[in-house]
Amino acid sequence: MRYMEISKLQRLLDLLRQQGELHSPVLGDDGVTRFELLPPGKLPDLAAIRTQLPPKKYLLHPQETILTYQADAGYRVPLATVPAMILFGLHPCDLAGISYLDRIFLGDEPDQLYLSRRAALTLIGVSCTPDEFCSCRLYPSPLEAWYDLFFQQSVDGIAVSIGSPRGAELMKILDDVMEERELLLPEDTRCFFGRKIPLPPESELDQGLPEWQVLAGHCIGCGACSVCCPTCSCFDVLEFGGLDGSSAERLRRWDNCLFRSHAEVAGGMSFQKDRAQRFRYRYRHKYRGFGQVKGVPGCTGCGRCRAFCPAGLDLRALAGKLEGDAS
């Protein structure tokens, strides 16, 4: 199998840079690790378990214009050429997160903005070691995570798997730093939510479960859990008139199903009046899926919602109880 000694990492990064903008986890001066442009000479933060925002930020911007209106031209999708970009250092959960978003945004009616950005992305995964927040070992369904290349870290280097024709092409360019080795990699024992599973009956998510109230009582509604989740992709839509008096812009902005406004409709009515109801709704969407992702659990186990929740909320116990625990 193709193998690269770790001493050749800089050279590999330089080769990748020739193929497009290279982004990877970078440790900031403030101690936050973020996916961002990796400047030449700087090493990616491969030790970090998770970046604060997942890579979804490249595909769905926190706030973006989705339509422009001009009196003479009507509505237009503001499509721009997206430069080729390589995301290096994606952990399996983040790859699974992108696969999940692909299902939603590239399904029946592909989202043009998403498609244009996704097509420009090359995904290079890197193996990792889960920490106490991760739940990728918890659930009994195997990972579905699409990638172009995947780098399995071992003692002194990385073993490469090819996941797509694009990955195979890229390997030709990277051949300089690769060698052939006979390796027996340990079997990847992680289990992820990410493949269709038989759904437990709906009634199990009984409104009367005391957990919903307990969660709602502790949640301060900060929004971190969904902002930082690699699969949360609900958005709000807003429209603003331009200063010329005739043009307009339509925006979408990340939303959270725990916010009051998320289920509010005209006249101040709401489908989910209190936070306990909203927790049940969030759970249902996240672990059971509906719409295009019905039956596809949307938790990839990345642990961000737990790591960044100021109230320390953790849905693992409840998920274990309701979905069945593999451990």
Partner 1 sequence: MKRLRVAITGLTSCSGCQLALLNCEAELPQLLELVDFRFFPMACSPATLESDYDAALVEGCLSMPHEQELLLSLRKRSRYLVAVGTCAAWGGVAALKNDQDREQLRQQVYGTDSTAALETFSPLPLNAVVQVDATVTGCPPEKEELIGLLTGLLKGSLPTLISYPVCTECRMKETLCLLTERSALCLGPLTLGGCGALCPALGVPCEGCRGPVPEANLAEAMEIYLQKGYAQEAACERLRRFCPGWRA
Residues within the interface to partner 1 (CB under 8 A): 28, 30-32, 34, 52-53, 57, 62-63, 217-224, 227-228, 238, 240-245, 254, 256, 259-261, 275, 308, 310-311
Q: C-alpha angle with apex 78: 76 to 80, nearest 5 degrees?
A: 140
Whose Cβ is closer to partner 1: residue 114's or residue 259's? 259
Smallest separation, CB 149 to ligand SF4 (Å): 22
In whole angstroms, the minimum distance from the beta carbon of 291 to partner 1 comes to 23
Minimum Å distance from CB 66 to ligand SF4? 24
Residue 167, contacted partner among ligand SF4, partner 1, none, CB below 5-8 A by kind: none
We find the least distance from the C-beta atom of residue 212 to ligand SF4, in angstroms, to be 12
- What is residue 135's DSSP assignment? -
Which of ligand SF4, partner 1, none lies near 300, with the C-beta cut-off 5 to 8 A by kind? ligand SF4
Q: How distant is the alpha carbon of residue 213 from its chain centre?
A: 28
**Following CA atoms 131, 136, 140, 142 in sequence, which dihedral angle do they give, to the nearest 10 degrees?**
-140
Provide, rounded to whole angstroms, the least separation between the CB of residue 199 and ligand SF4.
Answer: 18
d(CA 285, CA 294) in angstroms, rounded, equals: 8
Residues 6+ apart with CB under 8 A from 247: 68, 69, 70, 71, 241
Residue showing tokens 């050749």: 8
Q: Taking the chain, what is the end-to-end CA distance rounded to the nearest angstrom?
A: 32
Task: Work out the angle at residue 136's Cα, subtended by the Cα atoms of residues 288 and 235, and round it to the nearest 5 degrees.
Answer: 50
Nearest CA to 180 out of 5, 3, 6, 12 is that of 3
242 binds, among ligand SF4, partner 1, none (CB under 5 to 8 A by kind): partner 1
Q: Tell me which of ligand SF4, partner 1, none is bound by residue 202, counting a contact when its beta carbon lies within the kind-specific cut-off of 5 to 8 angstroms.
A: none
Question: Shortest distance, CB of residue 37 to partner 1, whole angstroms?
Answer: 14
CA distances to 30, 42, 214 from 25, rounded to whole Å, are 14, 11, 35
Of 2 and 285, nearer to ligand SF4 (C-beta) is: 285
Among partner 1, ligand SF4, none, what binds residue 254 when CB lies within 5 to 8 Å by partner kind?
partner 1
Q: Residue 163 or 223: which CB sits closer to partner 1?
A: 223
Nearer to ligand SF4, 177 or 258 (CB): 258
Give the shortest CB-43-to-ligand SF4 separation in angstroms: 26
Q: Which is nearer to partner 1, 131 or 175 (CB)?
A: 131
Are residues 304 and 229 in contact, defined by beta-carbon separation less than 8 angstroms?
A: yes
Binding site partner of 303, from ligand SF4, partner 1, none, Cβ cut-off 5-8 A by kind: ligand SF4
Q: Where on the chain is the footprint of ligand SF4 (CB under 6 A)?
A: 135, 219-225, 228-231, 258, 286, 299-305, 309-311, 313
Is 21 within 8 Å of 87 (Cβ atoms)? no
Instruction: Provide, rounded to whole angstroms, the least separation between the CB of residue 151 and ligand SF4.
Output: 21
Interatomic CA distance for residues 279 and 272, integer angstroms: 9
Instruction: Identify which of residues 10 and 63 has a Cβ nearer to partner 1 in the complex.
Output: 63
152: partner contacted, choices partner 1, ligand SF4, none (Cβ within 5-8 A by kind): none
DSSP string, 34-102: EEEE--TTPPP-TT-S--SS-THHHHS-SEEEEEEEETTTEEE----PPPPEEEEEE-HHHHHHHHHHH
Q: Give the sign of the dihedral formed by CA 89, CA 95, CA 97, CA 103.
A: positive
